[in-house]
Structure formats: C-alpha cells, structure tokens
C-alpha cells in the first residue's frame, strides 16, 4: 500500500462520514426520535502529498494568502494540488493547467480555514476517541493494521500526528456543516409531489439507476498464467455459489478483495448506470433483477456481478433491511466520548459474557427515544441512519454487537438482530423520494452557506502559488 492507497482510504473515510444518496442509499422518514436521521452535506476532501515531495516543498515554501490572520502556505497548496492531480490521473480525467489547478486548490483551502476557524470560535471539539475511530476506519479500508499504515505513511513523509490532525480537522468540518447547514433544510409534501411528477412525466425516463453486487478476485500485476488461472477458478467458484442460491453478502465476504465486501455486503449502491464502469453495465444490461454475471475480466482481476436492483427514477424497489437495536449515551461536559465509549465497552463485555441483557441495559441506560423498547429501532431501509452508524451496521452479522461507535448524536452500542430482503411499499418509496429531494437541498444550502462565510471573511492574497 503506497501513498495512493492510503489516500484512497481517506477518500473512503470521507464517504463514510458524509456519503450522499448515490453511494449509501436514501433515508425515508420515520427515523424521528431515534437521533439517527441522516442528511448529507458535501463530502470533505482528504489529501496527501506525493511520495518524496516533502523536501522540495519545504524549500519553496512561502505565504500565498492570509485568512483572518491565518496564513495559507505554498506547501499546503502544492500538497493538495499534487494529490488531486494524482486522483484525476487515476480516473483518466484531463488535468487542468497547473496554475488553474493551484488557484482552485487555494480557494478550497481558504474555505476550509474559514470553516475551521468558525468551528473553534463556537467551541466545537473532536475527542481523541473519535479521531482514533476514524483512523481505524482508514486502516480497515486499506486492509492493514494501524502500525503498518503509520509505517507506510511515515515513508511518504506523513507523521502519525499530522495524519491524526488532518482527520480531526475533517471531522470538525463535518460537525460544523451538520450543525449549521442541515438545520436550514426543510422538505415539504409539495416538494416530494413535484419530484414524483417530474419522474412520472418521463423527464428522467432515459436514466437508468442500478445497484450492483460486486465480488472482485484481484489479479496481481505481472501475474503468471498459472496465477491468472488460479484467480479465474476462484472467481468461478464464487459465481457458482451465488448462482446456486447462497447469500451474496456471505460469498462476497469469503471471496472478494474489494472493500465493500466487508462493509456493505458487496453492494456498490444505487447510482446512475453511467457512474458504473462500462464493463459492469454491459455485463448486466440484459439481466433480470437478482441475475448474476461473470466472471468478467478487467485490468484489476475477475468480477462477479449481481443486479441487485434497477430503477428509472433513482428509487430502489427491492432493498436489504436491517432490524437493529442500540444503546446511546449522549456526550457533553459531564461525559466525554472516551468515557462514554469505555462505559459501552463494559456493557458489551457483559452482554457477550452472558452477564447482562442488551434490552435491559438499553432500558436502564440509553438516552435515546428507543430506550423504552429496549433500544429496538425496528426494521430500517438502507440510508436511514447517519453514515458512520450505517457502515458499522453493514459490517455486522445477525446477532453481532458492534464496538462503541461515535456519531454526532453521541456514542452507540449497536446490535444487528436480523437482516432481510424486502420490497418497498409505495409509502416507503415516497419517503425515499423525500430524501432524494433533501439531498439536493442540502447541497444547495451548503453552497449558499459557504458563500456567506466567504463573504464575511477577510482574505488577503500574497504571492501566487507555484
């Protein structure tokens, strides 16, 4: 795993924190009172410098702008621009001229500093426990231990302290946006009606949204013919298992080298077909919902694909539902995130050892509206909960209890009771349409909010970034 793999993990973490509807699913109404309803602002960006670039950057460092008395340095712009250029190159996108990219990166950094300054002014903080949780999530996305991740980051000139500080800043930005942006968003029944009329009128009839299950059996670069054959045979065994009716998520967990195998049951999420690789779309175009394709070969390896759902409106008709219960401890001056996590870890130990009952502990200690029901949140469609809760939930098997988990509502202990495939009712589809509208409004509100912050800030430009 080089610096590109680490940065990919950071991008995955950013998605975990603030992922939009296309990747996570949509939240129907009905989560009120649980303290877990989800609205997603734009995802923050995590960036790292190119390997071996740190010495050159230090030699060229100078102040390029001042934001409310805080400097932005040429190093910061160069590091961010380098990472963005690498990401664009990996995606095959055309790179803008270097001076144009530098100016755009500078503006992004200015906006981030304005937001971080505001967060600190209003007293917002991110506990070390939350940073540690985010750090572990990045390591898991890259399939390495924390120690190995830190070693490889250090090889690219990124210290553990710098890495954790970047995570802390991104979490701080996320919490500020949740507090200041989401409160502005309201979705009326008229908004939902208008959206549904547009869909039914055929305004987007040409757009096909699909949700694919994905199993990747990776093939190493410069693999020998024998290695390729072995990898192909492994992919074929996975395809045979799912065609025989075995649970796709279980097969993905056993065979797949893709990160979503462990966090989302192999599902890539409902999104427009043109946002999937052309290979995936062409392989599944003629399949019925539930059909299996593959193994098909790409440069990365062999893929087994399942057409989990498709829609011309962006609203799924068949989803995987989870029956969940949780214990929530709200944090504040009297209870830090670390202390709440320690308390919940003790509850988990007692439950696993058979010394306590989850429902009884929830009734006694949970500070959520579900406490009277033993923490029971009932059946939930994808995207009902905040992304960090969803990600932890997707990694559980029925009966499993998570480790303590931080969200903006406090610290949770989660148990997955059951999981099932279910067809959405018309009411549930309407609720998901509501969340589609909400996502759009959140994006619009975020843009307006950032413009307002930028307009109130003092920004002095110095030398042009190089």
Written as tens digits, the pLDDT of the chain (466 aa) is 333 333 333 443 333 333 332 222 223 233 334 445 444 333 333 433 334 444 444 456 899 999 998 999 998 898 888 878 877 776 667 788 888 899 999 999 999 999 999 999 988 888 888 888 888 888 877 777 888 888 888 887 788 888 898 899 988 998 898 888 887 888 998 988 888 777 766 544 446 788 899 999 988 878 899 999 999 999 999 999 999 988 888 898 888 888 777 667 788 887 878 778 888 888 888 888 889 998 999 888 899 999 988 876 666 677 888 999 999 999 888 889 999 999 999 999 999 999 999 999 999 999 999 999 999 999 988 878 888 888 888 888 899 999 999 988 899 999 999 998 888 887 887 887 888 888 888 888 998 899 999 999 999 999 888 8
**388-402: buried (b, 16+ CB within 10 Å) or exposed (e) per residue?**
bbbbbbbbbeeeebb
Per-residue model confidence (pLDDT) at position 312: 63
CA–CA separation, 175 and 207 (whole Å) = 34
310 beta partners = 210
Query: Encoding tokens for residue 110?
Result: 């200015």
CA–CA separation, 12 and 388 (whole Å) = 12
Query: Encoding tokens for residue 437?
Result: 């509208």
CA–CA separation, 423 and 429 (whole Å) = 10
Q: How far is CA 217 from CA 59, 101, 213, 232, in A?
A: 44, 36, 14, 8
Per-residue model confidence (pLDDT) at position 92: 64
How does DSSP classify residue 28? -
**Host H or E run for residue 418:** strand 410-423
Evaluate the CA torsion angle 441, 386, 408, 138 in order and state its sign: negative
CA–CA separation, 325 and 395 (whole Å) = 15
Phi then psi for 394, rounded to 5 degrees? -65, -25
Q: Give the neighbor-by-neighbor strand order of the sheet with 410-423.
A: 376-380, 318-329, 410-423, 405-407
Per-residue model confidence (pLDDT) at position 404: 93
Residues 6+ apart with CB under 8 A from 255: 215, 217, 234, 235, 237, 238, 261, 304
CA–CA separation, 173 and 126 (whole Å) = 10
Show the DSSP H helices in 70-144 as ranges. 74-90, 98-121, 128-141
How does DSSP classify residue 335? B
Q: Which residue has the tokens 């979503």?
A: 260
CATH numbers and ranges of domains, the chain: 3-187 (1.10.4030.10), 209-311 (3.10.50.40), 318-423 (3.10.50.40)
Per this entry, what is the length of the chain?
Answer: 466
Per-residue model confidence (pLDDT) at position 207: 65
């Amino acid at each position: 795993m080089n610096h590109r793999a680490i940065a990919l993990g950071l991008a995955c973490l950013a998605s975990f924190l603030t992922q939009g509807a296309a990747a996570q699913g949509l939240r129907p109404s009905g989560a009120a009172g649980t303290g877990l309803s989800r609205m997603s602002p734009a995802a923050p960006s995590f960036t790292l410098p190119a390997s071996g670039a740190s010495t050159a950057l230090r030699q060229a460092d100078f102040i390029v702008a001042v934001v409310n008395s805080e400097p932005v340095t040429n190093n910061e712009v160069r590091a961010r621009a380098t990472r963005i250029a690498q990401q664009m190159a990996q995606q095959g996108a055309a790179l803008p001229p270097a001076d144009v990219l530098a100016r755009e990166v500078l503006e992004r950094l200015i906006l981030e500093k304005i937001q971080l300054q505001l967060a600190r002014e209003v007293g917002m903080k991110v506990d070390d426990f939350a940073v540690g949780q985010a750090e572990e999530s990045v390591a898991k996305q890259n399939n390495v231990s924390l120690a190995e991740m830190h070693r490889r980051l250090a090889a690219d000139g990124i210290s553990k302290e710098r890495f954790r500080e970047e995570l802390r800043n991104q979490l701080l930005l996320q919490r500020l946006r949740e507090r200041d942006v989401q409160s502005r968003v309201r979705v009326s029944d008229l908004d939902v009606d208008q959206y549904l009329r547009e869909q039914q009128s055929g305004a987007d009839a040409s757009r096909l949204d699909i949700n694919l299950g994905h199993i990747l059996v990776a093939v190493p670069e410069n693999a020998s013919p024998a290695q390729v054959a072995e990898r192909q045979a492994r992919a074929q065994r996975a395809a045979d298992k799912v065609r025989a009716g075995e649970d796709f998520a279980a097969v993905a967990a056993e065979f797949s080298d893709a990160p979503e195998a462990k966090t989302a049951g192999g599902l890539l999420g409902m999104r427009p077909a043109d946002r999937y690789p052309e290979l995936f779309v062409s392989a599944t175009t003629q399949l019925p919902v539930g059909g299996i394709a593959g193994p098909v070969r790409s440069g990365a390896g062999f893929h087994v694909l399942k057409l989990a759902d498709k829609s011309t409106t962006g609203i799924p008709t068949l989803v995987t539902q989870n029956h969940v219960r949780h214990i929530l401890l709200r944090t504040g001056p009297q209870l830090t995130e670390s202390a709440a996590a320690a308390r919940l870890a003790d509850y988990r130990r007692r439950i696993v050892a058979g010394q306590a009952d989850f429902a009884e502990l929830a009734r006694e200690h949970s500070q959520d509206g579900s406490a009277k029901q033993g923490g029971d949140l009932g059946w939930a469609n994808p995207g009902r909960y905040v992304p960090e809760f969803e990600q932890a939930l997707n990694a559980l098997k029925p009966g499993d209890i998570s480790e303590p988990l931080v969200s903006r509502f406090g610290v949770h202990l989660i148990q997955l009771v059951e999981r099932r495939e279910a067809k959405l009712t018309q009411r549930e589809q309407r609720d998901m349409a509501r969340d589609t509208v909400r996502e759009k409004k959140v994006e619009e509100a975020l843009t307006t909010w950032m413009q307002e912050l930028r307009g109130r800030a003092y920004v002095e430009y110095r030398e042009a970034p190089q």
